[in-house]
Amino acid sequence: MLWLFINGLALGLIWGVVFQYLEGRSITELLTVILSANFIFTSGVAKSLGQFCLQSGVSEKMMPMMIGWIFVPLTLLFVWMLTMIPTQNQSDVEQRTERLPMTQVERNAIIKDFGGVLILFILGYIILTMIRDVRETILE
């Protein structure tokens, strides 16, 4: 579980960087769905690129670093492109409610009211992620 958590930190970091540009717009939900689908798609691209590197003579120990270096310029390019997104307009502000950070009391109330459902969703997503990872890693 610790390694799954550590592995998820990078995804959370990228999600946070990207989502700060998407939040607060009238089409935030659509952009978020596209972002989620993109993570699934790029997982396959990264694995295919890793396979290509291995077949091209890159050692198994060097392949993850090579893939990382390939994606660094692309990541920087796409983050720069996100900075070019126009800021919120008046229509966006009128259609959305500003999201403020929750206080400790509010977080405790959410957990008290919805904790059981949240645990079921989290466990469901963990199981689905594990199944997808096993299917992609072991069965391919």
DSSP secondary structure code for residue 96 in this structure: S
What confidence tens digit (pLDDT) does each residue in 90-138 have? 887 777 777 788 999 999 999 999 999 999 998 998 888 888 778 777 7
Spatial contact of 6 and 69, defined as CB atoms under 8 Å apart: no
Percentage of the chain with pLDDT > 90?
A: 30
- The pLDDT confidence band at residue 140, using thresholds 50, 70 and 90, is low
The C-alpha atoms of residue 8 and residue 46 are separated, in whole angstroms, by 16
DSSP secondary structure code for residue 23 in this structure: T
- The pLDDT confidence band at residue 56, using thresholds 50, 70 and 90, is very high
pLDDT score of 54 more than 70: yes
The C-alpha atoms of residue 79 and residue 65 are separated, in whole angstroms, by 21
Q: Which residue has the tokens 């958590």?
A: 5
Spatial contact of 18 and 82, defined as CB atoms under 8 Å apart: yes
Q: How confident is the model at residue 119, as a pLDDT?
A: 93
H helices present in 1-140, as ranges: 2-22, 28-55, 63-83, 90-95, 104-137
Q: Record the pTM.
A: 0.57
- The pLDDT confidence band at residue 39, using thresholds 50, 70 and 90, is confident
Backbone angles phi, psi at 60, to 5 degrees: -60, -35
Instruction: Give, in degrees to the nearest 5, the angle at Cα 54 between 51 and 58.
Output: 145
